[in-house]
Structures are given as C-alpha cells and as structure tokens.
C-alpha cells in the first residue's frame, strides 16, 4: 500500500491526549492508531477526537508505541503490507476492524478482542509467496497474446496511451515497459511484494498496481478513461491521417467530436478527408478472415505484374492475433532489384479493379552507402510503400477462389451495403533487407523498440528495418532470416507468436 503522508502531531488540550481531568491516562497499556486508508481524512479526524474524549490514547502518527491499529474496509494483508512499509513498524500490533473501536467507545473502555474483531490475514510464509524474476529487456522475454494480469496491464496501457496522445512519450514508454513486464509473468500478481527487484516498474506504475490489488481497479486509469480530453483525443486520432498534435489543436479550437469537426471550417488533407468519410469502417476491428481475403487480392495484384514475388502478412496477425485495426503486407522478390517500381504497378492494378478508396505511395529513399544503418529519429523505415484504404466485399469473405467475382463486379462507391473500408499498408523490400523488414514490421512496437535499445546499449550495434550495423567493427552484419539477426544480437530466437510485449 502507498504509505500515508505523515502529519505533525497536534496536541491542543488534555482532551486530545487521552487523559482524564487529573492528567492521568485512563488506559495506559492501549495506544490506538486509526488507518486513514479507505476511512477518509474527515471520518478519521472525527473518530480520533471521539476516542480522545472518551479517554483513549489515539496517536496521529504510527510509531512503535501503537498497540492497536484500527481499520475500516481493509483486508489483513493490505494492512500488514502497509505496516511492513513503515519504518519501525510493529508486527505485534493488533490489526482490528472498526467494530472493536465503536464497541469500545460505547463501553467507555477497551472491550475484549474477539475473533470477529480481528482482520483476517492469510497464513502464508514468505517462502510460499512466489517472487517473480524476468530479464530486463522485452526482447529477452517470451510474451504470448494472453497473459495472467490483464486487469493490471490494461490499466497501465490506458495511462500509456493517454501519455502518448498528450505528446509525453517518456511517460508512455515507461507505462508500456511496466505493462510488458507484467504480461510476461507466469502467474497472476497477488501482492506487490512479488514484484520486488523486477525491471521497468517505477513508482508511478507500482502505485497503479497497488491500487488495483487493493481496490479492484485503478482510480487513475478510470478517471483518465472518463476525462473529456482523453475521449476527444481518442475520437479525433481515430481519423486516418490525424495525429495527436492535430487533434490537440482541434480540441483547443473547441472541436471534440466528428459532428463538430464536420461543422467546422477546418481544412482537411486528402487522407483526413478519406478517414473522416470512412471513419466507422476504419475503426471497426478487422478479422483474420478479412485479412486473409485482402491477402488473396494483394497476391493476385502482385502476381499479375511480377510473377514469383513473395507476399507476407505481417503485424499483429503474424503474431497470432485474430483481430486488428489494419492489415500490413511485406512484398519482395527473390532476385535483388526485380522489386524496383513494383508498387506503382500494383496500385494501378488495384485501381483498375476499383478496389482502392484512397492511396498514397512513397518511393524508397534508403541508400545504405549514404545513410549507414538508417535509423531516423522516428525509427520509421524508408521502404517503398502504399498507405491505402481498401474496399472489401461484404457479400462473402473472398479468398483466391472467388476473387474473380469481386474484381469483375467492381463494387460501386455508393453501394456501401456491399462493402466495407479497411486500412491496408503495402511495403516493398529488396530481398537483401527482407529479414530486417520482416522483423521490424512484425512488432510488437515495444518489442521492436527494445530490440533497438538492446542492440545499442548491450551490443554496440545499430538496428533498423533495413540493416544491422556493428559500430565497433564498422561493418554491416548480413542476415537472410530473423533467426540470423537474433544470433548477431546475442539473443535467443523468439518466434512471432511470443513477441506480444
């Protein structure tokens, strides 16, 4: 539990010291302390004054003199953890429910302590409490999709997202790293004491964890979810092409929802216009079946213009997710150089079939000889890519066998009952960089960040989605597979399904 702020002891008259009119202590062997946690400041002050008027010694601060700790709505293990956190805490103090205190007030003396007055403490020895241990970097840990601490990780993720939307990247990363540690644990966390010595768990994250363990939910995470600013940022950044800076500017202009944005005179660029038009579809989760259907379309498009090319579904779906917010594909060709100019041909084919609602294509701007390992400040790669919005048939989830029906019918833009809009990213990589691109585009985002941090801090290397560069030897380390990259980094290989940090 979070230690309570210590208050100065105020002694204003003899009535506050638990003495009678002759200055003698009525019950010298009983020294009470009321725990403010869950009781509240005002109620604690009232009950303390009541006890003193009845002749009891009620301490303002916890000390070794305290013989009875009075609690309200606290469990025994919560209070014991709080006592252990206090310097000079006494294990011998009675931990009592408020009922003992009120009965003693009515009786005008300390009543007998019965079992019903005692806080129930689990009889677990220190050796029986599992203390967890995990490696410091997420890229050293195996993290499956499901974890044992979803209540904790979801609260931390909300706080991370709120920090990121508020342009507080450092705080966001701290919460993400804390959540990643909890995701990797082999069993549920039942006590903060189990987390002793674990990496990446700062004071703020530990306060959130304590709050959940003690109260069932994080008050900070809940208040964040309900805040008007957070809800507005979520809605506005849900528009394709709108980042947190743009959303923040709109909020300062009084725009908090889509209706207000549409009614405003804000100038939207082409991607934002498309994002607003197809907002509901884009913010609806994409299923694995829909991703597979889009893969069939992409394969038909690529093979029609470059036979022999390879297409890999990346992102969360490669890590085993059954739902996602978009679909990412990595495309290459076994012969170096054959992939040059491929994207424009693929996009032309898709547009000829009326399957794109929006697209923006960028050229490959990475030159190894000039750029070195290629790590821009944003860690964005510089492959040839197409950011697009696909038009996907709703009539059935099309696979390769019925693509002919989908493409030949050329679904009309206004027949929205027959199709839905889906965000799709297409990325083209030379085969020499394909292993690095595949690793980078598989994710998770934090796993990739931790890989780069490990490479730099622990190995003296620079890693990007283009290359791995050994700064000590001043040379590139080539790789034709993800396994080779892990070997270069001195890490055990972790398959995509266990990179869900």
Nearest to 435 by CA among 485, 365, 384, 380: 485
Kindly compute the dihedral angle of the four CA atoms of residues 133, 136, 137, 139, in this order, to the nearest 10 degrees.
Answer: -30
Tokens of 218: 């994080």
Nearest to 374 by CA among 454, 313, 442, 440: 440
Domains of the chain: 14-123 (3.40.50.10190), 138-225 (1.10.150.110), 227-277 (1.10.150.20), 286-430 (3.30.460.10), 439-498 (3.30.210.10)
The answer to whether 302 and 329 have CB atoms below 8 angstroms apart is: no
Q: Using the 8-state DSSP alphabet, how is residue 5 labeled?
A: P
The DSSP element (H or E) to which 201 belongs, if any, is: none
Tokens of 74: 């606290």
Q: Which residues of 223-260 are buried (b: 16+ CB within 10 A; e: fewer)?
A: ebbeeeebebbebbbbbbbbeeebbbebbeeebbeeeb
Bridge partners for 329 per DSSP: 313, 426
Nearest to 382 by CA among 362, 364, 359: 364
The strand pair at 323-324 and 286-287 is best described as antiparallel
Q: What are phi and psi of 408, to 5 degrees?
A: -75, -30
- Report, as residue numbers or ranges, the catalytic residues: 326, 328, 425
The DSSP element (H or E) to which 263 belongs, if any, is: helix 258-263
Q: Where are the beta strands (DSSP E) in 61-105?
A: 68-71, 94-97
pTM, 2 dp: 0.72
- What is the separation, in whole angstroms, between the first and last Cα of the chain? 27
Integer Cα distance of 82 and 5 in angstroms: 12
The answer to whether 411 and 328 have CB atoms below 8 angstroms apart is: no
Tens digits of pLDDT across the chain (501 residues): 444 444 333 333 333 455 554 445 688 889 999 988 888 888 899 999 999 998 999 999 888 888 899 998 887 777 877 777 664 444 568 899 999 999 999 999 999 988 889 887 655 554 555 689 999 999 999 999 999 999 999 999 999 999 999 999 999 999 999 999 999 999 999 999 999 889 999 999 999 999 999 889 999 999 999 999 999 999 999 999 999 999 999 999 999 999 999 999 999 999 999 999 999 999 999 999 999 999 999 999 999 999 999 999 999 999 999 999 999 999 999 999 999 999 999 999 999 999 999 999 998 877 765 555 544 434 568 899 999 999 999 864 544 344 443 444 444 555 667 999 999 999 999 999 999 999 999 999 999 999 999 999 999 999 999 999 999 999 999 999 999 999 999 999 999 999 999
């Amino acid at each position: 539990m979070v230690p309570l702020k210590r208050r100065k002891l105020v002694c204003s008259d003899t009535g506050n010291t638990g003495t009678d009119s002759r200055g003698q202590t009525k019950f010298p062997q009983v020294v009470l302390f009321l725990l403010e946690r869950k009781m509240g400041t005002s109620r604690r002050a009232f009950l303390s004054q009541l006890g003193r008027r009845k002749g009891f010694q009620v301490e303002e601060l916890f000390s070794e003199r305290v013989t009875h700790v009075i609690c309200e709505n606290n469990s025994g293990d919560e209070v014991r953890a709080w006592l252990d956190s206090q310097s000079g805490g006494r294990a011998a103090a009675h931990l009592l429910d408020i009922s003992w205190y009120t009965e003693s007030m009515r009786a005008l003396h300390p009543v007998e302590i019965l079992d019903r007055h005692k806080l129930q403490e689990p009889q677990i020895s220190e050796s029986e409490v599992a203390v967890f241990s995990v490696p410091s970097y997420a890229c050293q840990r195996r993290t499956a999709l499901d974890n044992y601490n979803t209540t904790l990780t979801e609260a931390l993720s909300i706080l991370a997202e709120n920090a990121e939307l508020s342009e507080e990247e450092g705080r966001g990363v701290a919460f993400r790293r804390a959540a990643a540690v909890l995701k990797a644990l082999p069993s549920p966390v039942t006590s903060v004491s189990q987390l002793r010595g674990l990496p990446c768990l700062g004071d703020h994250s530990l306060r959130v964890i304590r709050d959940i363990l003690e109260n069932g939910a994080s008050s900070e995470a809940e208040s964040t979810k309900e805040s008007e600013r957070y809800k507005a940022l979520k809605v506005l950044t849900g528009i394709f092409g709108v980042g947190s800076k743009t959303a923040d500017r709109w909020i300062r202009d009084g725009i908090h929802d889509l209706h207000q944005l549409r009614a405003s005179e804000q100038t939207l660029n082409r991607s934002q216009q498309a994002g607003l038009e197809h907002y509901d579809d884009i913010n609806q989760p994409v299923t694995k079946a829909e991703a597979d259907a889009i893969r069939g379309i992409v394969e038909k498009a690529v093979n029609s213009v470059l036979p022999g090319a390879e297409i890999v579904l990346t992102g969360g779906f490669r890590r085993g997710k059954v739902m996602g917010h978009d679909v990412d594909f990595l495309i290459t060709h076994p012969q170096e150089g054959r992939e040059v100019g491929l994207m424009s041909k693929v996009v032309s084919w898709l547009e000829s079939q009326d399957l794109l609602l929006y697209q923006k294509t960028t050229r490959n701007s990475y030159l190894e000889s000039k750029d070195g390992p290629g790590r821009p400040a944003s860690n964005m790669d510089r492959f040839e890519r197409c950011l697009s919005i696909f038009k996907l048939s709703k009539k059935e989830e099309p696979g390769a066998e019925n693509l002919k029906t989908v493409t030949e019918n050329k679904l009309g833009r206004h027949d929205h009952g027959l199709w839905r809009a889906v965000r799709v990213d297409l990325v083209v990589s030379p085969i020499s960089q394909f292993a690095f691109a595949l690793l980078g585009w598989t994710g998770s985002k934090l796993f990739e960040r931790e890989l780069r941090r490990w490479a730099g801090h622990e190995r003296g290397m620079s890693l990007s989605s283009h290359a791995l560069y050994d700064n000590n030897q001043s040379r590139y380390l080539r790789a034709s597979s993800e396994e080779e990259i892990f070997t270069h980094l001195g890490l055990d290989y972790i398959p995509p399904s266990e990179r869900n940090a």
